[in-house]
Amino acid sequence: MFTENNTLGKGRKLGSTNVATTSIKQNLQKLVENNLDTLDADLKALTPKDRIKAITDLCKFIVPTLKQVDAEVTRTTDLTWLDAWSEEDLTKLLNS
């Protein structure tokens, strides 16, 4: 049976790095660095649509993926005074 904070298991400790993943990332980085000219030529040979797709697919390995965050926004300022303004006055204010 699994129990939380079990130290008898063979898993990594919380927060420790995965050595295999780190090694793969380093090797992938070396592979790309050693083949930049070929990669550049291959990308240039693609159609613009395929080139954009290839670059965005490659970015998944370079740029961290953002996670969706739920946020609750509360207004801290009372804006009821704006109700007294006309649409024309508000437009003038925004365009000035």
pTM confidence score: 0.44
Q: What is the pLDDT of residue 65?
A: 79
Helices (H), 1-96: 19-34, 36-45, 48-59, 87-95
| Domain boundaries defined on the chain | 17-68
Kindly state the tokens that stand for 54. 């290839």
- 96: three-class secondary structure by DSSP: coil
- Alpha-carbon dihedral sign for residues 75, 80, 83, 88: negative
Q: What is the pLDDT of residue 7?
A: 64
Measured at the alpha carbon of residue 65, what is the angle toward residues 62 and 66, in degrees to the nearest 5? 140
Q: What is the pLDDT of residue 42?
A: 94
Query: Which residue ranges of the chain lie beneath pLDDT 50?
Result: none
Q: What is the pLDDT of residue 18?
A: 78
